Chain A
């Protein structure tokens, strides 16, 4: 194989890549973790959470959208970058209403797990405590916008995988919000099914299967057992635990 002879260095380690592959994809394939939230293997790169920002030959750029090139020098696990990523995570926490102790997703939540990975002990910034809607209309799925981080994974999954376009982003700036494809504005009136990829792909507790909460005891949840930096577990949480 000649196509994998190209390499770049990531924190000094040689990473092989294929033409057209992003830094993130190449790093993941090589078993190297770069923190991220809006990225998921198999989905169109989005580049919005900015957690995967790395220094490429000294310039910051998002690893999930930046194409790998031969010989580039990429820095990721530096004290400075992780401090900045921690600050971004803190921004996500204060922007919404993330109250882990009462969230069913706790222990399986990527936002929480990334924050653990980055050693975040406090959201630090002044909380916005925004007023956001909870939509419990759907028989099998709960939509809690308090926990939405606007990663658009559900938007992409519903559009590109489920072929339904159930979700979208409305508004702009700090008032951006997840909207659903129904005149009533209710999830029940969309074509969403509990088996849709859009539901499983949510990294936080914004979209939850109903009657599934707290079914795994503390100590055995995903991020009780693995740290998020264990890249091989990336897509595991999307596998339904029942049925």
Chain B
């Protein structure tokens, strides 16, 4: 780590922000955290673009084109990238859609769903275009560390971050390792 306070960026791709909530669950240690690090792009800061950072925390899998742009921005700017939570690591709950045909899915949602009449499939360029399947982030960029859990327990996040901030190889004991 640099002598200045390490910079951390976080984001949620195809996720539910549950991992971010779990981060907030470190409770009083949050005070310690904000003293020891500086937050760059993150839902916590509302900074929209990621600058050069030490640690990038990515929650959620990759389900659309916009996710790729954000993920690549993180990879480019973050020295260490951490896939955080089940979705970032396996695709998670959103990947249940992976064996539903995208055509069928759109038809159901915009054409045939209950109460729909004359529905149109939206084609606004502002809307992120979905992939055929949802993927874990390590299938799109190189990932340095994986912090599993749905969400990872607050203690696990704290342990992981403390190790990284201190320049140690992050290590979870078996009790903190969980996939649900």
Which residues of A are in contact with B by a Cβ distance under 8 Å? 93, 97-103, 106-107, 112, 115-117, 119, 121-124, 126-127, 129-132, 218, 227
A-chain residues with CB within 8 Å of residue B133 when the two chains form the complex: 129
B interface, over-half SS: mixed
16 contacts between A and B (CB under 8 A): A99-B93, A100-B179, A101-B93, A101-B179, A107-B180, A115-B179, A121-B145, A121-B147, A121-B148, A121-B177, A122-B136, A122-B143, A126-B139, A127-B90, A127-B135, A130-B99
Q: Which of the four size classes fits the interface of chain B?
A: 20 to 34
CB-CB nearest in chain A for B139: A126
Q: How far is the CB of B171 from chain A (nearest CB, A)?
A: 9
Which residues of B are in contact with A by a Cβ distance under 8 Å? 83, 86, 89-93, 95-96, 98-99, 133, 135-136, 138-139, 143, 145-148, 150, 172, 174, 177-180
Contact of A116 with B83 in the complex, beta carbons under 8 Å? no
B-chain residues with CB within 8 Å of residue A93 when the two chains form the complex: 90
Contact of A123 with B90 in the complex, beta carbons under 8 Å? yes
Contact of A127 with B91 in the complex, beta carbons under 8 Å? yes
Contact of B180 with A100 in the complex, beta carbons under 8 Å? yes
Q: How far is the CB of B164 from chain A (nearest CB, A)?
A: 14
- Report which residue of A99, A102, A130, A132 has the largest number of chain B beta carbons within 10 angstroms of its beta carbon: A99
Known contacts A112-B179, A115-B179, A127-B139; A99/B90 CB under 8 A: yes
- Report which residue of A93, A97, A130, A218 has the largest number of chain B beta carbons within 10 angstroms of its beta carbon: A97
A-chain residues with CB within 8 Å of residue B179 when the two chains form the complex: 100-101, 106, 112, 115
Q: How far is the CB of B144 from chain A (nearest CB, A)?
A: 11
Question: What CA separation (Å) do A116 and B135 show in the bound complex?
Answer: 22
Contact of B177 with A101 in the complex, beta carbons under 8 Å? no
Question: What CA separation (Å) do A124 and B92 show in the bound complex?
Answer: 14
Contact of A102 with B91 in the complex, beta carbons under 8 Å? no
A-chain residues with CB within 8 Å of residue B91 when the two chains form the complex: 99, 127, 129
Contact of A102 with B83 in the complex, beta carbons under 8 Å? no
B-chain residues with CB within 8 Å of residue A99 when the two chains form the complex: 86, 90-93, 95-96
Question: What CA separation (Å) do A100 and B95 show in the bound complex?
Answer: 12
B-chain residues with CB within 8 Å of residue A121 when the two chains form the complex: 89, 145-148, 172, 177
Question: What CA separation (Å) do A171 and B150 show in the bound complex?
Answer: 34
Q: How far is the CB of A82 from chain B (nearest CB, A)?
A: 13
Question: What CA separation (Å) do A100 and B92 show in the bound complex?
Answer: 8
A-chain residues with CB within 8 Å of residue B90 when the two chains form the complex: 93, 98-99, 122-123, 127
CB-CB nearest in chain B for A131: B99
Known contacts A101-B93, A102-B96, A122-B89; A116/B178 CB under 8 A: yes
A-chain residues with CB within 8 Å of residue B147 when the two chains form the complex: 121
